[in-house]
Amino acid sequence: MTFNSGQRLKASDLDANMPQLLGSTVLTANAANMPITIPAGYNHLEAIYTARKSVGGGGGFVWLQFNGDNAAHYQWENQIGNGAPGTSGASLVTFIQVGLLAGSSDIAGYFASGRITVGNISSTSAAKTVDATSTLVCSGTTYYKAMFGGVWNQAAAITQVTLIPDAGAFVAGSSLSIYGWG
């Protein structure tokens, strides 16, 4: 789209480049996962979550799968900081690790949060890369900030995004919103 100097823009001129809410859920009961269907017509997506799990000691991780694919088509790497950063990763696994997750023994009422971006989601000829950040407060003095990156080694367009806790279930109040654009 081309604009001329002095031209007034209308909101409708920008809609194609502005994020559109594709789906959102706030859990009213514990759930094993949070899936959202992605309609066709978008090139990029961003997911925003807040979550806590029903089990576990201090903290855990949020996992991501696309299109119901639970085969070993994923790879990921993370860097988690709490004073001194550490890294870990996995290749040819059944999910991408994309975020931190508050556990049942973390401060009551505190949820971890994160943002996940995926580009080129409508492509049927390229693998999909994922970039994510997340924050977790475990106690009054323990905080974590993390970065995650990964790839889904499939050339299919993304039609569904599912978040999964590393153990137990997401608790009531956990939420996921997904936006698409482009």
What per-residue confidence (pLDDT) applies to 91?
85
The b/e string for 23-59 (b: 16+ C-beta within 10 A; e otherwise) is: bebebeeebeebbbebeeebeebbbebbbbbbebeeb
Q: How far apart are CA 22 and CA 30, in angstroms?
A: 22
Q: Tell me the whole-structure pTM to 2 decimals.
A: 0.88
- What are phi and psi for residue 15, nearest 5 degrees? -50, -40
The one-digit pLDDT tens for each residue of the chain (182 residues) are: 566 777 776 655 556 678 999 999 999 999 999 999 999 999 999 999 999 999 977 789 999 999 999 999 999 999 988 766 677 878 889 999 999 999 988 888 899 999 999 999 999 999 999 999 999 988 778 888 999 999 999 999 999 999 999 999 999 999 999 999 98
Strand-strand pairing, 86-93 and 74-81: antiparallel
Domain ranges of the chain: 21-181
Write out pLDDT tens, residues 10-21.
655 556 678 999
What per-residue confidence (pLDDT) applies to 142?
82
Q: Which fold has domain 21-181?
A: Jelly Rolls (2.60.120)
Q: What contacts 44, CB < 8 A, 6 or more positions away?
A: 117, 118, 119, 120, 121, 180, 181, 182
Write out pLDDT tens, residues 128-158.
999 999 999 887 788 889 999 999 999 999 9
